[in-house]
């Protein structure tokens, strides 16, 4: 067994790691990069012919066994579903929540520039009334900013598909942020709206698929304190308050962004609209190719 996988087995055996991943993944379709016998990474999203999913720490421990301790990195969809047991369950029409997410790509070496961009986006969100429900996640060479999906109330998501609002929020804030982050973009940092039907992202406390680092969460007021020491597997620093949210906190922003930007381009008209695109698992594969 490689040293790469020895670290993963030890890391995922931790109770705190299992708890964070399991809770984050409730209602989401999971995926995993696993290490083959030849040492290559293999992307998996099904187990036993069913979509990969867990609802508890016990189920996550069973998933690890089902993957025969080959798992290196865990991902989950932005969309949340009432149940994830069959492929029919993860049809986009059944998604009832979607986590707005900003991808800020850089390198571990230019982490300061990446954090600077993240702070600008977090500041814009606060100006739009979203503070308690926002959190940041450092993942490998860059970071994600999330708005807790329940910060957008059901009264709002009943007006359009949750993916419409998630896409519109990210696009709207990106447009406002662009003039303020030009220098960071010149330094090689990228900010993209990758909200789509197959959107997946690294789970909190998952290992990176190649780097020996942990995906950790932090709240906006911790951005100035962050350093790469926070992501070391033996001594990671992680804020469990990613769970915190204020219901309806993002409603005004969601409605404003949707009115300004419109919804996700690949959806047709209707309350719970169908996707004119590839199958969800194909979308996930294409997303992972961008890393």
Residue 45 lies in a domain: no
Report which of 16, 117, 23, 11 is spatially closest to residue 73, judged by C-alpha positions: 11
Q: Which alpha helices (H) appear in 28-153, and where do they start and end?
A: 57-66, 111-127
Q: Note whether 250 and 152 are within 8 A (CB).
A: yes
Length of the chain, in residues: 291
List the one residue out of 142, 90, 131, 134 whose CA is nearest residue 290: 142
Q: 24 in a domain, yes or no? A: no
State which H helix or E strand residue 258 sits in: helix 251-261
Span 216-224, average pLDDT: 98
Question: Average pLDDT for residues 25-33, to the nearest whole number?
Answer: 98
Residue range 149-177: mean pLDDT, rounded: 97
Cα gap 119→133, rounded to integer Å: 15
On whether residue 13 sits in a domain, the answer given is no
CA 170 to chain centre: 13
47-62 pLDDT, tens digit per residue, is 999 999 999 999 999 9
State if pTM tops 0.75: yes
pLDDT tier, 4 (very low <50, low <70, confident <90, very high otherwise) = low
On whether residue 234 sits in a domain, the answer given is: yes
Provide the domain count of the chain: 1
Q: CA-CA distance, 208 to 34, in Å (whole number)?
A: 11
Residue 64 lies in a domain: no
pLDDT value at 284 more than 50: no
| Alpha-carbon distances, residue 109 vs 20, 104, 163, 184, 210 (angstroms) | 27, 14, 33, 13, 15
| 83-128 pLDDT, tens digit each | 999 999 999 999 999 999 999 999 999 999 999 999 999 999 999 9
Distance CA 245, CA 286 (A): 31
CB neighbours of 18 closer than 8 A, spacing ≥ 6?
12, 57, 60, 61
Q: Which two tokens stand for residue 30?
A: 């999971």
Q: Residue 213's domain is classified under what CATH number?
A: 3.30.70.3300
* Under 8 Å between Cβ of 141 and 108: yes
Q: How confident is the model over 217-222, as a mean pLDDT?
A: 98
DSSP state of 203: P
% of the chain surpassing 70 pLDDT: 90
In a domain, 204, yes or no: yes
**Owning domain of residue 162:** 86-289
Kindly state whether residue 117 falls inside one of the protein's structural domains: yes
Res 212: pLDDT? 96
Nearest C-alpha neighbor of 109 from the set 140, 145, 72:
140
> Rg of the chain over CA atoms, in angstroms?
18
Record the tokens describing residue 89, joined without a space. 């369950």
Flag whether 267 is in a domain. yes
pLDDT digits (tens, 9 = 90+) for 7-25: 999 999 999 999 999 999 9
The pLDDT value given to residue 1: 55
């Amino acid at each position: 067994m490689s040293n790469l996988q020895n670290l993963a087995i030890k890391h995922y055996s931790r109770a705190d790691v299992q708890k964070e991943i399991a809770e984050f993944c409730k209602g989401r379709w999971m995926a995993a990069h696993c290490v083959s016998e030849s040492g290559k990474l293999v992307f998996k999203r099904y187990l036993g012919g069913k979509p990969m999913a867990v609802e508890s720490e016990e189920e996550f421990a069973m998933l690890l066994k089902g993957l025969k301790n080959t798992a290196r990195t865990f991902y989950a969809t932005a969309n949340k579903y009432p149940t994830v047991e069959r492929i029919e369950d993860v049809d986009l029409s059944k998604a009832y929540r979607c986590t707005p997410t900003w991808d800020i790509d850089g390198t571990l070496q230019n982490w300061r520039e990446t954090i600077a961009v993240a702070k600008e986006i977090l500041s814009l969100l606060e100006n739009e009334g979203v503070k308690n429900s926002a959190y940041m996640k450092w993942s490998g060479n860059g970071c994600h900013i999330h708005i807790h999906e329940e910060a957008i109330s059901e009264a709002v998501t009943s007006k359009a598909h949750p993916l419409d609002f998630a896409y519109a929020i990210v696009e709207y804030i990106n447009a406002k942020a662009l003039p303020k982050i030009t220098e960071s973009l010149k330094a090689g940092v990228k900010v993209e709206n990758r909200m789509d039907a197959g959107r997946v992202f690294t789970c909190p406390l998952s290992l990176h698929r190649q780097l020996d680092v942990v995906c950790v969460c932090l709240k906006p007021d911790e951005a100035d304190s962050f350093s790469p020491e926070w992501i070391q597997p033996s001594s990671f620093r992680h804020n469990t308050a990613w769970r915190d949210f204020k219901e309806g906190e993002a409603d005004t922003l969601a409605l404003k962004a949707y009115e300004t930007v419109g919804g996700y381009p690949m959806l047709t008209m209707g309350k719970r609209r169908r996707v004119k695109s590839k199958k969800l698992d194909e979308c996930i594969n294409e997303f992972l190719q961008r890393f």
